[in-house]
Structure 1
């Protein structure tokens, strides 16, 4: 997690700074190595679900599992990968630093990869082998800094029901009640659209000043903010 935050954060930071310079905008951009506290007793630790690392043959996976006690699963027919827990994020450790930079008008790259998972011990924070869902961490961040809107960018312009079926329907708006209904109907795929919708719901539900959430594609982010596409989630 820390390696990913440093490497990807650096490239994002460079690209943003170059774009700001090209546009003549005098603004700083900073990447923050971000730890996120999780509960050591989170049920997710008992059931690893997030694939990480390299692909292995079944024989290789069995050997590593026997030696190190890792859990492996077959990943879409491409081989076997180690799976690690995906606990729920509870608190962003570097939140005050992020808030100070945001208030100063800086662009902040943070909670990369969902944040580096840590648990609280008597000695302090301790890293754990896990991967926190990026959407959930983003919702927690938005909620924690008092954001007016949470925007989650994905591969589609709008959330759909009956996805990839003849009667597929795009959703320009969705209330919390409607989202709950669609989840009960299993309209959103686990590990794909479901955590995005749930994270948006969490943000909207806990926002005390009428905040909304938006799900759209990176390519359509600007026009989605103008109301021309995307799915807006409201109370």
Structure 2
């Protein structure tokens, strides 16, 4: 099978962990081991988030102060190289002799996308309410919102329209022995100026939505979205909440999920299956191989007879 695996940035730097290189390296090493278990039997195209990393780079930029800070598109490109390099190295260590390739990609967006007026994508570290007030005072142009019991910066997340390097990616994955890393952070956000030239955009692309566009473009069989959750839960946090094991796209439409977290993941999986994908799934990185076989996570398919089945 050709499998697109979308790995959340918070799985690389987990909530509450210090934003340090060695912490990230350790998490990437563990993630690579889980991904390698799938890559030994299937062709894997790996994408990843970059929320904590791009937020950290933004803080470093703001702290420097003497020059104009680098915009988010440039910071996104930096995280593609940094995270991609680490994943490529660790995957090569897990699979000696296998070809692993990292490609920097750009994602085209609509400059009139309403997301620019309503930022909702979390980036950077989490703060206590008290610390967030100080951070907001230091960066008055930032927008802060609640992320669980913490506060965190949010930025615009426009819808991905096109992956500009798609034809090159198709050429690479024609060799089924290559494990490909691309679409980091959803790709570097760009728009076309009136003269047709490409221009960077101050935003962050949701990596799950971009991964869906990628998966369809390369005709993947499966889309796996992996993070630190075991499965998709109905009425999350409520007494009647249930973890979904199998579900059809139509049955999933009946539930509502948070726009800044689970919502884009569910949306991407549902659209992928509706547009011809065999299966999509959301679950824990630690159980990646079990998710692919339907023994863990939440699996979205068109052929679930009951419409929805819950874990007991």
TM-score range, shorter chain: 0.7 to 0.9
| Cα gap change, 1:74 to 1:206, in 2 (>3 Å) | closer
Mapped contact 2:222–2:278 kept (Cα < 8 A)? yes
Aligned: 1:35 with 2:110: no
Q: Name 1:91's counterpart in structure 2.
A: 162
User: CA 1:59 to 1:224, structure 2 compared with 1: closer, same or farther past 3 Å?
Assistant: closer
User: How much does 1:72 deviate?
Assistant: 2.3
1:200 is matched with which residue? 269
Q: 2:121 aligns with which of 41, 50, 64?
A: 50
Whether the aligned pair in 1 keeps the contact of 2:247 and 2:298 (CA below 8 Å) is yes
Q: Which of 10, 20, 41 is the aligned partner of 2:95?
A: 20
Q: TM-score, normalised by structure 1?
A: 0.85
Deviation per CA, 1:192-222: give whole Å up to 9, x if none.
Answer: 2221111101111112xx5211112111111
Q: Supply the distance in 1 between the matched residues of 2:247 and 2:155 (Cα, whole angstroms).
A: 32
Equivalent in 199, 204, 210 of residue 126 of structure 1 = 199
| Unaligned residue ranges in structure 1 (runs of 5+) | none
Q: 2:243, 2:120 → 1: CA distance?
A: 29
Q: CA deviation at 1:163?
A: 2.7
For residues 78 and 172 of structure 1, the distance between their equivalents in structure 2, rounded to whole angstroms, comes to 29
Taking the aligned partners of 1:231 and 1:100, their CA distance within structure 2 comes to 31
Relative contact order higher in (CA < 8 Å, ≥ 6 apart): 2
Q: In 2, Cα distance between the equivalents of 1:33 and 1:173?
A: 34
Contact 1:101 1:107 in 2 (8 A): no
Q: How many Å apart are 1:64 and its aligned residue?
A: 4.1
- Give the equivalent residue in structure 1 for 2:172: 101
TM-score, length basis structure 2: 0.65
Structure 1 residues 170 and 6, CA, compared in 2 at 3 Å: closer, same or farther?
Answer: same
In structure 1, C-alpha distance between the alignment counterparts of 2:163 and 2:288, rounded to whole Å: 26
Describe the superposition over 1:17-37 as per-residue Cα deviations: whole angstroms up to 9, x where unpaired: 11111xxxx321111111000
**CA-CA distance at 1:189 after TM superposition:** 2.7
**Structure 1 vs Structure 2 CA RMSD:** 2.1
d(CA) in 1 for partners of 2:181, 2:200: 21
Deviation at 1:162, TM superposition (A): 3.0
Which residue of 2 is the match for residue 227 of structure 1? 294
SS at match of 1:48: coil
Instruction: Classify 1:14/1:60 alpha carbon distance in 2 versus 1 (closer, same or farther; 3 Å).
Output: closer
Q: How many residues of Structure 1 are paired with residues of Structure 2 in the alignment?
A: 220
1:138 positional shift: 0.6
**1:36-82 CA-partner distances (Å, limit 9, x unpaired):** 000011111122222445777546634643xxxx342255576674x
